[in-house]
Amino acid sequence: MRPVSSWGRLSAEPHQVTALSDIATLADELHGKGPAIPLGRGRSYGDACLNPGGTLLDTARLDRFHSFDPEMGRLVCEAGVQLRDIQRFMVPRGWGLPVIPGTQHVSVGGAIANDVHGKNHHRVGSFGNHVRNLTLVRTDGGVVDCGPGVRPDLFAATVGGIGLTGLIATAELQLQPVTGPWLDTEILPYRSLDEFLTLADDSESLWEHTVSWLDCTAGSRARGIFLRANPAVDQSGKPPSPRRLAVPVTPPFPLFNRLTLPVFNSAYYHLNSRRGGARRRPFDTFLFPLDDLQDWNRLYGPRGFYQYQLVVPRDAGPAALRDILDIIARSGQGSFLAVIKTFGDRASPGLLSFPTPGVTLSLDFPNRGARTERLFVELDAVVRAAAGRLYLAKDARMPRELFEAGYPRAAALAKFRDPGMSSGMSRRLMGQ
């Protein structure tokens, strides 16, 4: 047993961590291993990848490619392969992953099991939309394939299924052609929520990647920075290798607090509005800015932090978002990294997939115990009234009834579950 934390560092409960290493003996290794839950890179913020007191099936070493078809761009690989590795090897060969979340340090298995989305959701949908097939290994020793065309029900339960249908051993992914590592980017400041929504609508048809950072210390008089990018026309030259920094220790208190937040936010806003405009940038520093600061989650101090990510349908969006920003401003617990983005209409394949047409907002809050929970209860009420939902990859605390309201198809998961799989999250939200 050793203590394991997820990305939010809210807990460090002991776990039995079983390192899976050999794809050939996986079925034997898993046989009778419950209650267990697969662990990818532990980039989920809450308890989706935790199983306090129980077993974690660590997939880090299931990291081999099996085959690549350079004509069709189809890659078969093991679930522990990191997205960063796929990009590293495939971009020079003219192919890339269609969907990458805000960090490349996630595994293929984790990307499927949370059906993750990227800044190009309005164009390509979520990760699960590009999975052609996968092989599941279950704790009864069974091995089953599923995909959009084979056992589609099991596939829908597995994509976004937070590990509960069995261990994804391998997946076949459809990559997309890429021209190179550069993006043509634009950075635009905006001064209200309406201005953001107009920018988002205007950008969706012409820009492949859109995302925005919001200063939420200002309440509903929001201001922010809108970022959009397309593959660069000029792909010449090698992008500089980024300077990697690391946060060496956990400070004794969160560095983002009531006093420093307005300063950070204001500085960030002004810095970016000034360096705004159009420029060519390397895709990884543009799309994954935090990947160059290793262990940045330590900045929130020893008690860890929550990320609260919601999506509300487009029509309810503006009003609900305004309420949310007002509640946050009033609480004085502003968030440094407030990210807002519109989702497109492409249907997500999973029963528990998060993306749905509308606006998604994610906010980081240092853990201040009961005070933070009181704020969340207020936010929950707005999300619920707007028929929205919270993202399981980020969640560590939502009440069961909000889960059931937000994910009406959740009940259908039960019959596809691997009885040996159970996580902190599944016990909290589904009772087992």
Q: Which two tokens stand for residue 66?
A: 């099996």
Q: Which does 107 bind (CB under 5 to 8 A by kind): ligand FAD, another protein, none?
A: ligand FAD
**Torsion angle, alpha carbons of 264, 267, 273, 275, to 10:** -110
Task: Check residue 41 for interaction with ligand FAD (CB under 6 A).
Answer: yes
Q: Which CB, 17 or 387, lies closer to another protein?
A: 17
Task: Check residue 241 for interaction with another protein (CB under 8 A).
Answer: no
List binders of another protein among 22-51 (CB under 8 A): 22-24
CB 318 within 8 A of CB 197: yes
Residue 421: DSSP 8-state:
B
Rounded least distance, CB 230 to another protein, Å: 27
CB 286 within 8 A of CB 231: no
**CA geometry: angle 72, 77, 80, nearest 5 deg:** 145
Q: Which CB, 119 or 322, lies closer to ligand FAD?
A: 119
CB 301 within 8 A of CB 254: yes
Q: Which CB, 203 or 307, lies closer to ligand FAD?
A: 307
Binding-site residue total for another protein (CB under 8 A)? 21
Q: Which CB, 92 or 152, lies closer to another protein?
A: 92
Q: Which does 66 bind (CB under 5 to 8 A by kind): another protein, ligand FAD, none?
A: another protein
Task: Check residue 64 for interaction with another protein (CB under 8 A).
Answer: yes
Q: Which does 113 bind (CB under 5 to 8 A by kind): another protein, ligand FAD, none?
A: ligand FAD
> According to CB under 6 A, which one of 34, 73, 98, 109 is a site residue for ligand FAD?
109
Residue with the two structure tokens 């990559």: 175
CB 350 within 8 A of CB 161: yes
**Residues 6 or more apart in contact with residue 113 via CB below 8 angstroms:** 38, 40, 48, 158, 159, 160, 161, 162, 163, 168
Judged by CB under 6 A, which stretch of 95-103, 139-147, 216-224, 260-268 contacts ligand FAD? Answer: 95-103
CA atoms of 152 and 161, how far apart (whole Å): 13
Binding-site residue total for ligand FAD (CB under 6 A)? 31
Judged by CB under 8 A, which stretch of 62-70, 151-159, 285-293, 383-391 contacts another protein? Answer: 62-70
CB 55 within 8 A of CB 18: yes
**Backbone φ, ψ for residue 332 (5° rounding):** 70, 15
Residue 21: DSSP 8-state:
-
Judged by CB under 6 A, which stretch of 163-171, 228-236, 247-255, 342-350 contacts ligand FAD? Answer: 163-171
Region for 115 from its dihedrals, namely left if φ exceeds 0, alpha if ψ lies in -120 to 50, beta otherwise: left
Task: Check residue 65 for interaction with another protein (CB under 8 A).
Answer: yes
CB 42 within 8 A of CB 51: no
Q: Which does 49 bind (CB under 5 to 8 A by kind): ligand FAD, another protein, none?
A: ligand FAD
Residues lying near another protein in the complex (CB under 8 A) are found at 2-3, 17, 19, 21-24, 61, 64-68, 70, 75-77, 88-89, 93
